[in-house]
Amino acid sequence: MDLPRPFLRMPFDESMAKYGNDKPDLRFGMEHVVLTDLVKQHQGGGVPLMKEAADQGGIVKAMKVPASASFSAPRSTSSRST
C-alpha cells in the first residue's frame, strides 16, 4: 500500500476549531461553522440554548451538511409512531 508522504499534520488548536476533534476525519470536509454572531443578531433564532450560550460569551457552532448527503435516520419525526 502506498501512503502519501509526508503525512498531513494539523496543529491541535486548528483541528479543534475546525472539526471539534483532535483526530478529524478529513475525507468528508465537514468543518464546523461559527454561528455565534448570527445567533446574537437573531436573539437565538427561537432556540433558547443557543441564545443563552451566545449571551454568556460561548461559541455556537454547527456542521454544514451538503444537501446531497444521504441520511440513514428518518428526516422528520412526523414519520415516527409515538
- Kindly state the cell numbers that stand for 35: 454561528
Q: Contact, 36 vs 54, CB < 8 A?
A: yes
* Predicted local distance difference test score (pLDDT) of residue 75: 56
Alpha-carbon distance of 76 to 46, in angstroms, equals 19
Q: Decide which of 39 and 27 is more confident.
A: 39
pLDDT classification of 71: cutoffs 50, 70, 90: low
Condensed to tens digits (0 to 9), the pLDDT of residues 39-66 reads 999 999 999 999 999 999 999 999 888 7
CA nearest 45: which of 56, 35, 33, 57?
35
